[in-house]
Amino acid sequence: MRIALGSDHAGVELKARVVKALDDRHLDYHDFGPSTGSPVDYPDYAARVAERVASGEFDQGILICGTGVGMAIAANKIPGIRAAHVVDRDGARLSREHNDANVLTLGARTTSVEQALDMVDAFLTTPFGGGRHQRRVDKIMALEGGRSVPTTRTVSPVQDVDPQR
């Protein structure tokens, strides 16, 4: 597995902790910057990482900014990217298992180091579940390409409250 990393100035310190965790696990990664806390624009780094993941050069990406939200918005503009901003381990796990997310975004100002490392671990170790989830990911990809998404079943809101569906 190859991992692409990036942050803005707010995420440099947390990214350094993620890098140490990746080193400890002997995982292959590349840090696309920045390396200092000097102000930068997060969309620049989101694009660097997302483009490399979308091209297949890297399997997954991790992006960190102050909240994680800006990185997710910017990364999701790159075709082929399913960036997930998560706030706990379950969100990280389910983003992989159900959505085949390929980029994790974290908030350095809103997440403790321990929480962030726990989310990174869940994200990197959870495989995509496939099955019924593949149909939904295919629909996401169709939306990205500007195609309409056919409805496969009609469900009332009351019927669709089961998260296992």
Residues 25-64: tens digit of each pLDDT? 999 999 999 999 999 999 999 999 999 999 999 999 999 9
Catalytically active residues, by annotation: 65, 98
State if pTM tops 0.85.
Answer: yes
CATH number at 2-129: 3.40.1400.10
Give the domain ranges of the chain. 2-129
Burial class (CB in 10 A: 0-12, 13-18, 19+), 129: middle
Sign of the dihedral through C-alpha 149, 69, 84, 36: positive
Interatomic CA distance for residues 113 and 122, integer angstroms: 14
> pLDDT tens across 85-137, in order?
999 999 999 999 999 999 999 999 999 999 999 999 999 999 999 999 999 99
For residue 15, give both structure tokens.
Answer: 């990214």
